[in-house]
A and B are shown apart, each in its own frame.
Chain A
Amino acid sequence: MTTVNMTVNGRKVSGEVSDRTLLSQFLRENLNLTGTHVGCDTSQCGACVVHVDGKAIKSCTTLAAQMDGTSVTTIEGLANGADLHPVQAAFREHHGLQCGFCTPGMIMTAVDMIERAKASGRKLDEKTIRAELEGNICRCTGYHNIVRAIEAAAAAMA
C-alpha cells in the first residue's frame, strides 16, 4: 500500500492504494471521477486520456503511485461552472460525438493538442489534427466532425 497525494482539478486529494493501482482506477474508484473512461485498457484507444502537469497521458497506462505529487486535470475539470470549455462547446456545436464514450479522451487530447500548437506558434491544420488523434479511437463518428470541432475550437482559442 502506498499513500498518493495529488491535486486533481484544483483540489488536493489523498488516497491509500495498493501500488498496482492504475491512475484510471484511482480517478474512477477512489475519487468517483467517472468521466475518465476506460475503453480498451490496453493503451490503444485514448478514452482514458487526462492531463498530468499539463500534458496528455493515458491514465490506464500509468500507476497512481508514479503520479504522486502531480497535478491532474480530468474532463470534469474543464468547464467553468455552467460554462463549457471552448473544446467542449465546439464538440457540441459540431456534433463531435454520438455515443459519447470516446469523448472525454478526445476532448482532453484536443485541449492538449491545441495548447501545444499555440505554444509553438503552429496553426493546427486538418492533417495535423488527424495525425495527433492517432491514439484516440472513435467507433461512432467517423472522425470528420471531431476534426471539425477541433478546428473550430482552435480558432476560438487562438
Chain B
Amino acid sequence: MYDVNYHRASSVEEAASLMSRAEDGKFVAGGQTLIPTMKQRLAAPSDLIDLRHIASMKGIRVEGGKVTIGAATTHAEVAGSADIARVCPGICSLASHIGDPAVRHMGTIGGSIANNDPAADYPAAMMALGADIVTNKRTIAADDFFAGLFETALEDGEIITSVSFSAPVKCAYAKFANPASRYAMAGVFVARFDDGSVRVGVTGAGSDGVFRHKGMEDALTSDWNAGALDGVSVDEGMMLSDIHGDAAYRANLVKVMAKRAVAAAG
C-alpha cells in the first residue's frame, strides 16, 4: 500500500470539507473493499476520510412500513436487526450471507452500494425494494443510482448517508455463491408490494451490473408463484461470461435463483 493520510470525520459536513481539501481523497467505511484494493495498489488515494464515526450515518429505524438504514451500518447489524426482520426479512438474510462473520462486522451497506461491484448482494435488494439512496446532496432512486460495473450516480465527494424503502408484503433473496469467493454468481431479490406489483433485482449475472428483469416482474405480478417463471426467458446476451460460468449457465442460474426466492418468500 502506498502511504496515505488518514482522517476521522465526526460529522457529514466535516467529511465533505475534509474531502474538498484533499488532493485525491477517498472515503473509507468498513474498508473491506477499499483496503484490499489499496494493498494491491489498484487504488492509491492521497487521503482517507473515515465515515465510521459519524453518528448520524449509523443505525436502523423502522417506522410503520418505512425502513431507514444509516449508510455506516454494518452487514452484521442489518443481519441481526429484529426490527427489520419483522417487516423485511429478505434483507436480513441477504446481509447474513455476505462474505464471512469478520467481513460482516466491518463492511457497511453504504460502502457496498457506493462500490457497486457487479457481484455484490445489496444492489439487488435496493433495486427490488425500489429504495431511495439518500446522500448529503439529494435523494436518488435505486433505478437511477446503479450505472453499470462499479459505476454509480454519485458525484465526486458525494456521501451516501442512508438508504430507505417501504417494506414489501413479501420478499426473499436467493444467491448462488461462487464456491471460492462467496460473491454472487447469480443473486435474485424478489419483492411483492401491497398493490400486487412485483420487482425483481438481479446481481452477479448481468454483463452491465445489477438489473431488474421486466419479464419476471410481469409474470410474478399476474401470478405470484415460482411456476409462473417457467415460460419467462432470460437473455443470454445480457449475461456475464467468465471462467466461473458462461452466459448460458448464468442465464439459467438467474431463473433458478428467482424461483427459489419466490418459493422462500412464500
* A and B pair up: yes
- The reply to whether the CB of B67 lies closer than 8 angstroms to some CB of chain A is no
Interface string of A48-69 (1 = CB under 8 A from B): 0100000111100111011010
CB proximity of B48 to chain A, nearest CB, Å: 7
Do residues B48 and A19 form an inter-chain contact, with CB atoms below 8 A?
yes
Do residues A61 and B6 form an inter-chain contact, with CB atoms below 8 A?
no
Of B32-40, B122-130, B217-225, B238-246, the one with at least 4 CB within 8 A of chain A: B32-40
How many angstroms from the CA of A31 to the CA of B4 in the assembled complex? 22
- Report the number of A-B residue pairs with Cβ-Cβ less than 8 Å: 75
- B105 contacts which of A42, A55, A132 (Cβ < 8 Å)? A55
Chain A: interface size category: 20 to 34
Measured between beta carbons, the chain A residues less than 8 angstroms from B31 are 61-63, 66
Interface string of B19-40 (1 = CB under 8 A from A): 0000000001001100110111
Do residues B50 and A66 form an inter-chain contact, with CB atoms below 8 A?
yes
Measured between beta carbons, the chain B residues less than 8 angstroms from A2 are 6
State which residues 109-123 of A face B: CB under 8 Å.
Answer: 109, 112-113, 116, 120
- The reply to whether the CB of B182 lies closer than 8 angstroms to some CB of chain A is yes
Given contacts A42-B39, A61-B36, A66-B52, contact A18 B3 (CB under 8 A): yes
- The reply to whether the CB of B196 lies closer than 8 angstroms to some CB of chain A is no
Residues of B participating in the A interface, judged by any CB pair closer than 8 Å: 1-6, 8, 28, 31-32, 35-36, 38-40, 48, 50, 52, 76, 80, 99-103, 105-106, 182
A to B CB contacts below 8 Å, 17 in the list? A2-B6, A20-B1, A42-B36, A42-B39, A55-B76, A56-B102, A57-B105, A58-B102, A61-B32, A61-B36, A61-B103, A63-B48, A65-B6, A109-B101, A134-B100, A134-B101, A134-B182
